[in-house]
């Protein structure tokens, strides 16, 4: 039971890191980015092939077959940093193409195309990513370093690692939020022509947000890969990407705490909510369907009655000047059509 709770909490922490990256890209800069989960996958793959076991071992269930050129058996931290570098630079490349002139739907379509390309490369490239089989037996970070502790101790170590990563990402994004850079991004979301008229380079600011979000996705993906200890093209699907969007809607677009709450609800609480119900014989698909229905109803309800999300975006308020940043006590409403 406690093992199970720890495992769930770990997943929540990783998902929280992942959702924060999308919040920078979509919640602040405002571009509807459907490629985000592809960057999570790229991060996961990069770490997986760097820390993974080399090919050609005696046991095909432990080591991938010959012909796989990676599997470098690196330690986790440099691998995760490389993964962030890879997702950051790929974000810069995609952003340089897609963010310069494309807006709205056209931008979204371009990011979908990118996602399909990435999926194809991962599932067809054998020498780098082991094709459709994917990477398995990914070693756990610090497991050997800690002289192979028992599972329970190790799970505590891993959850600590995830917590430290989330804390760093959270603090940095909060600083960004309060800074002139974060405010510039949110102004671009509201009206990018007005931002340009006041001297903001809209393209560069969006590109920066895209790269920062991409790096966070890379970190989240790295942790996800080692948490699952295997990664292949079927481990991620567009539907997961939409769940993260749903989490942002639900929690409160733009608010870091809000989106963390949203992701916990969408990816943990709703899936777990039906676990304690009695099982129906010959109806194994009932509860999964119920979960999806529950998630859908919840999102509709929030959009109807609380469109700003459970915890709305905060503002650099002035009436409590010394406190500086506070959650509004009364929900501030945007005028219709905002």
Partner 1 sequence: MPDAEIFLEVTHVAKNFGGVRAVVDGWLSVPKGTTVGLIGPNGAGKSTMIEMISGFLAPDSGKIILAGEEIQGKPAHQVAERGLIRTFQTPREWRGLTVMENMLLAADQKGRDAAWRAIFARRKLRAAEQLDRARARELLERFGLLALRDEFAGSLSGGQKRLLEFARIAMRSPRVVLLDEPCAGVNPVLQRNIEEAIVGLQQDGITVLLVEHNLPFVERACQDIYVMAQGTTIAEGSLAELRKVPAVIDAYLGEVEAIA
Question: Which residues contact partner 1 by CB under 8 A?
Answer: 172, 175-176, 178-184, 186-187, 189-191, 193-202, 205, 208, 212, 313, 315-319, 321, 332-335, 338
In angstroms, give the least distance from the CB of 24 to partner 1: 11
Strands 230-231 and 135-136: antiparallel
Q: Which is nearer to partner 1, 281 or 322 (CB)?
A: 322
Q: Which is nearer to partner 1, 7 or 317 (CB)?
A: 317
In angstroms, give the least distance from the CB of 199 to partner 1: 4
In angstroms, give the least distance from the CB of 220 to partner 1: 19
Phi, psi of 332 (to 5 degrees): -85, 135
Q: Report helix angle 180-190 to 202-228, nearest 10.
A: 100
Q: Which is nearer to partner 1, 134 or 213 (CB)?
A: 213
Q: Which is nearer to partner 1, 124 or 179 (CB)?
A: 179
In angstroms, give the least distance from the CB of 25 to partner 1: 14
CA dist list (Å): 333 to 109, 131, 269, 313: 31, 49, 28, 11
Q: Which is nearer to partner 1, 28 or 224 (CB)?
A: 28
Give the integer Cα–Cα distance in Å for 68 and 105: 39
Tokens of 10: 């770990």
Name the helix (H) or strand (E) containing 273: helix 270-273
In angstroms, give the least distance from the CB of 255 to partner 1: 13
- Exposed / middle / buried, residue 102 (Cβ in 10 Å: 0-12, 13-18, 19+): middle
Name the helix (H) or strand (E) containing 109: helix 104-124
Q: Which is nearer to partner 1, 53 or 182 (CB)?
A: 182
In angstroms, give the least distance from the CB of 177 to partner 1: 9
* Bridge partners (DSSP) listed for residue 231: 135
Give the integer Cα–Cα distance in Å for 262 and 310: 8
């Amino acid at each position: 039971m406690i093992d199970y709770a720890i495992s769930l909490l770990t997943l929540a922490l990783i998902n929280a890191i992942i959702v924060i990256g999308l919040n920078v890209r979509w919640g602040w800069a405002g571009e509807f980015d459907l490629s985000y989960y592809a960057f999570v996958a790229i991060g996961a793959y990069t770490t997986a092939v760097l820390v993974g076991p080399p090919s050609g071992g005696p046991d095909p269930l432990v080591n991938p077959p010959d012909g796989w050129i990676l599997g470098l058996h690196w330690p986790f931290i440099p691998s995760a940093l490389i993964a962030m570098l890879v997702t950051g630079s790929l974000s810069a490349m995609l952003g340089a193409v897609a963010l310069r002139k494309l807006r709205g739907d056209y931008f979204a379509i371009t990011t979908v195309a990118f996602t399909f390309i990435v999926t194809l490369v991962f599932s067809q490239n054998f020498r780098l990513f082991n094709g459709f089989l994917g990477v398995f037996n990914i070693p756990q970070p610090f497991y050997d370093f800690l002289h192979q502790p028992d599972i329970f101790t190790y799970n505590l170590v891993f959850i600590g690692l995830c917590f430290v990563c989330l804390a760093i990402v959270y603090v940095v994004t909060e600083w960004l939020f309060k800074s002139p850079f974060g405010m510039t991004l949110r102004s671009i979301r509201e009206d990018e022509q007005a931002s340009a008229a006041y001297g903001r380079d809209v393209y560069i600011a969006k590109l920066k947000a895209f790269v920062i979000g991409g790096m966070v996705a890379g970190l989240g993906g790295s942790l996800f890969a080692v948490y699952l200890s295997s990664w292949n093209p079927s481990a991620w699907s567009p539907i997961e990407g939409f769940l993260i969007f749903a989490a942002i809607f639900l929690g409160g677009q733009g608010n870091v705490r809000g989106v963390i709450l949203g992701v916990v609800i969408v990816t943990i609480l709703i899936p777990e909510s039906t676990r304690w119900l009695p099982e129906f014989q010959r109806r194994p698909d009932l509860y999964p369907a119920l979960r999806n229905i529950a998630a859908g109803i919840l999102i509709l309800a929030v959009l109807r009655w609380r469109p700003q999300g459970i915890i709305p975006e905060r503002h650099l308020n002035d009436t409590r000047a010394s406190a500086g940043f506070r959650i509004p006590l009364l929900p501030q409403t945007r005028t219709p059509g905002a």
